[in-house]
Amino acid sequence: MERHIPIAKPVITGDELSAIGNVLNSGMLAQGRAVEEFEREFSGYIGAANAIAVSNGTVALDLALKAHGIGQGDEVITTPFTFIATANSVLYQGAKPVFADVDEKTFNIRPEAVLEKITGKTKAVIGVHLFGHPFDVPALEDICEDHDLFLIEDSAQAHSAEFRGKKAGSTGTGCFSFYPTKNITTGEGGMITSGSASVTEQCRLLRNHGQSSKYYHTVLGYNYRMTDIQAAIGLVQLKSLEQFNRKRIRNAAFLSSHIRLDGLVLPSKEPDARHVYHQYVVTTQKGCIDRDRFMKYLTANGIGCAVHYPLPIYQQPLYRELGYTNESAGCPVADGLAPRVLSLPVHPSLEPDDLQYIADVINRYEEA
Ligand SMILES: Cc1ncc(COP(=O)(O)O)c(C=O)c1O
């Protein structure tokens, strides 16, 4: 039988199915008891005082920025090497995303690069814990304190990642996604975590049409609510998160100790970091391996792979249209990484022989 190893695969069991059945039978389907319980469990797990469940990770970022009062004329510094939602959430506010370059090894935003981009208009920094590797939260926290900026932690890819023992999303305002490829899923879904009572209150208000009491609306809000069906799935998934992450970490360790190919750089991890391997991202060295040819070879051998991300955000057509250029963005590391990165399967459904197969196929590769 031909082998096919997908790049991602959510783990869904009978427990999720029976939890969904219970919700359907309860008659309370949206923003009810299961949502409240999911918020409680999630905030406790992350170590944040509050959690606000929303319909997806994009609106988590949108609400977080709104709750911090980001608006027209403001600048928000973020990484160009991330999923588009991170930067788009800034555009939603009529504010300007300003890009700070990333570290070649961790792919994460560099605190020194953030410092260079601060102006009188800067109001916030959005760091992204990319691929499950936490960024240096204490360094960015210090910068934000010194310059009176809000820190948003885009933790969409980093459920239970840690930096110096502190979980992603427990320092700044955390924004999580539960999209199916993520370390835990609710189908679609998102969560904001916050230590601030006023940010939490604002997020809750905005999530539900600015409704302060039944049919009494004080501000322009939205329908960004989570359903109880999503929350019930999330509660089951949260119980397995630690086990899923341990499996991802073990799978990554196996790949890193078995893949040996000249010109292929394997992922690295900072000593202070707990990397939860949302993605296992390798980098091809210029002049040694052609990334796209290597990708075709893997695909032909049944190994799912993907490019996260083919373009730094300022190179996306939308951002070109807005006037961004490589020169104005000034992020040479991100420019150099985008054509060379490749994600390999690392998800918890992989079997030992899948991992061995991936390593064997890669080790046999010969550049034409
Ligand atoms: C880094 C990052 N930020 C934000 C998001 C947006 O989350 P969602 O797809 O749930 O809207 C994602 C998810 O794809 C992401 O990877």
Q: What is the pLDDT of residues 116-173, one digit of tens each?
A: 999 999 999 999 999 999 999 999 999 999 999 999 999 999 999 999 999 999 999 9
Query: How many angstroms separate the alpha carbon of residue 342 from the centre of ligand 1?
Result: 18
In tens, the pLDDT along 68-124 reads: 999 999 999 999 999 999 999 999 999 999 999 999 999 999 999 999 999 999 999
Token pair recorded at residue 36? 């409240």
Q: Is residue 59, in this structure, part of any structural domain at all?
A: yes
CATH code (residue 336): 3.90.1150.10
Whether residue 209 is found in the same domain as residue 267? no
pTM for this entry:
0.98
The span from the CA of 334 to the CA of 103, in Å, is 8
Mean pLDDT on 246-256:
98
The span from the CA of 1 to the CA of 8, in Å, is 20
Whether residue 257 is found in the same domain as residue 345? yes
Whether residue 263 is found in the same domain as residue 227? no
In tens, the pLDDT along 177-203 reads: 999 999 999 999 999 999 999 999 999
The span from the CA of 275 to the CA of 132, in Å, is 5
Q: Is residue 2, in this structure, part of any structural domain at all?
A: no
Q: Domain span at residue 255?
A: 241-363
> Which residue is associated with the tokens 């919700």?
23
Q: Is residue 335, in this structure, part of any structural domain at all?
A: yes
Q: Which residues contact 146 (CB under 8 A, 6 or more apart)?
A: none
Q: Is residue 4, in this structure, part of any structural domain at all?
A: no
Q: In angstroms, how far is CA 6 from the centroid of its own chain?
A: 20
The structural domain count of the chain equals 2
Whether residue 22 is found in the same domain as residue 151? yes
Instruction: Please say which residue of 216, 236, 256 terminates a domain.
Output: 236
The number of the ligand 1 atom at minimal distance from the alpha carbon of 178 is 10
User: Is 177:190 a contact under the CB 8 Å cutoff?
Assistant: yes
The span from the CA of 184 to the CA of 309, in Å, is 21
Q: Is residue 208, in this structure, part of any structural domain at all?
A: yes
Q: Is residue 3, in this structure, part of any structural domain at all?
A: no
The number of the ligand 1 atom at minimal distance from the alpha carbon of 61 is 4
User: Is 155:169 a contact under the CB 8 Å cutoff?
Assistant: yes
Which helix or strand (DSSP H or E) is residue 344 part of? strand 341-344
Q: How many CA atoms lie within 13 A of 52 on its CB side?
A: 29
In tens, the pLDDT along 268-303 reads: 999 999 999 999 999 999 899 999 999 999 999 999
Whether residue 81 is found in the same domain as residue 191? yes
In tens, the pLDDT along 196-249 reads: 999 999 999 999 999 999 999 999 999 999 999 999 999 999 999 999 999 999
β-pairing, 173-177 with 190-194? antiparallel
Whether residue 212 is found in the same domain as residue 64? yes
Whether residue 232 is found in the same domain as residue 293? no
To test the pocket of ligand 1, the residue of 7, 58, 308, 313 to mutate (highest count of ligand atoms within 8 Å of its CB) is: 58
Whether residue 224 is found in the same domain as residue 252? no
Q: How confident is the model at residue 1 (pLDDT cuts 50, 70, 90)?
A: low
Mean pLDDT of the chain: 97
Q: How confident is the model at residue 316 (pLDDT cuts 50, 70, 90)?
A: very high
Report the alpha-carbon angle 274-196-117, nearest 5: 65
Q: What is the 3-state secondary structure (H, E, C) of 206-256?
A: HHECCEEECCEECCCCCECCCEHHHHHHHHHHHHHHHHHHHHHHHHHHHHH
Whether residue 36 is found in the same domain as residue 124? yes
Query: How many angstroms separate the alpha carbon of residue 364 from the centre of ligand 1?
Result: 34
Q: In angstroms, how far is CA 282 from the centroid of its own chain?
A: 18
User: Any idea of the CA torsion for 13, 18, 19, 24, to the nearest 10 degrees?
Assistant: 140
The span from the CA of 210 to the CA of 127, in Å, is 28
User: Is 112:257 a contact under the CB 8 Å cutoff?
Assistant: no
Instruction: Please say which residue of 214, 236, 258 terminates a domain.
Output: 236
Instruction: Please say which residue of 219, 236, 253 terminates a domain.
Output: 236
Whether residue 37 is found in the same domain as residue 179? yes
Q: Which of 52, 134, 126, 131 is nearest to 95 (CA)?
A: 126
CATH code (residue 143): 3.40.640.10
Q: Is residue 8, in this structure, part of any structural domain at all?
A: no
Q: How confident is the model at residue 263 (pLDDT cuts 50, 70, 90)?
A: very high
Q: Is residue 9, in this structure, part of any structural domain at all?
A: no
Q: In angstroms, how far is CA 55 from the centroid of its own chain?
A: 15
User: Is 259:305 a contact under the CB 8 Å cutoff?
Assistant: no
Token pair recorded at residue 54? 């929303």
Which protein residues touch ligand 1 with a CB less than 6 Å away? 56-58, 82-83, 85-86, 128, 154, 156-157, 177, 179, 190
Q: Does 367 have pLDDT greater than 90?
A: no
Output the furthest CA–CA distance in the chain (Å, rounded): 68
Query: DSSP 3-state assignment of 153?
Result: strand
The number of the ligand 1 atom at minimal distance from the alpha carbon of 128 is 1
Whether residue 326 is found in the same domain as residue 272? yes
Whether residue 174 is found in the same domain as residue 298? no
Q: Does 2 have pLDDT greater than 90?
A: no
